[in-house]
Amino acid sequence: MLLFSTIFHEIGHISASIKYGVVPKWAGVGIYFTSPIAFVDVDDTWKLPQKQRIVVDIGGIYFQLIISCIYALWYIIFKTPSALNAAYLLVVSVIFNLNPFLKYDGYWIFSDLLGVYNLNQHISESIRFLFCKLFYRKKCKQKHNEFDDNKSLLIGIYSLVSVIFFIYFGLTLLKSSIISTWKLFKCFSVYNLFVSMVLLYFSVVSINSLFRMLKDIVFLQQNNV
């Protein structure tokens, strides 16, 4: 059921992009942080008007909610517990998908609402701009290269909250890795070893990315003030 729902989700993105004349380049599966994902490359939709891009962004969630309602209806008619569980998991998945900090649908929706291609590329510069405006308002000389001051401040606030989220996310992964490693010492198994290695890898990657990001943010150059 869930596999079918995942495919149906991607069909939502594909059908919306084709409706507006953009054919997806390719589709695939992969790992994003600690979870498996399916995806379609609809990068060319950036050429579309804002409203059409947002329709493509929410197409997967829309299709996913349709299939969730079908599962719920199936449960009501046939009293199949697995159908109810699938409907519940799909709704939870939709909520998780709306997270604007990880590169799921919520991230691209928020990016298109702001009219900013790939928000993550602007995090360091936007937070530097935000800090400069907040703490050095009178003598702040820094200008964002692409956006006006209001949009730059909004992106800066988003970027700051994003960094806080990733700090929490990275520390949570590290904590889970430590707990999993402790379980490995107490009771060795191939499964525990695999989980420990995966969690450790992703926690190291997350923390390393955070250090690089914070280095760009904290060390403000003198000519920006």
Distance of CA 213 to the CA centre of its chain: 17
Residue 98, CA distances (Å) to 54, 73, 93, 103, 109 in order: 13, 24, 9, 10, 8
pLDDT-derived band at 220 (thresholds 50, 70, 90) equals very low
Mean pLDDT of 120-138: 71
The predicted pLDDT at position 223 comes to 47
Condensed to tens digits (0 to 9), the pLDDT of residues 49-104 reads 999 999 999 999 999 999 999 999 999 999 999 999 989 999 999 999 999 988 89
| CA gyration radius, the chain | 21
Q: How far apart are CA 108 and CA 111, in angstroms?
A: 5
Q: Say what the pLDDT of residue 21 is.
A: 94
Q: Is the pLDDT of residue 140 over 70?
A: no
Q: At 65, list the tokens.
A: 């909610």
Distant-in-sequence, close-in-space partners of 68: CB < 8 Å, separation ≥ 6: 5, 86, 87, 90, 91, 94
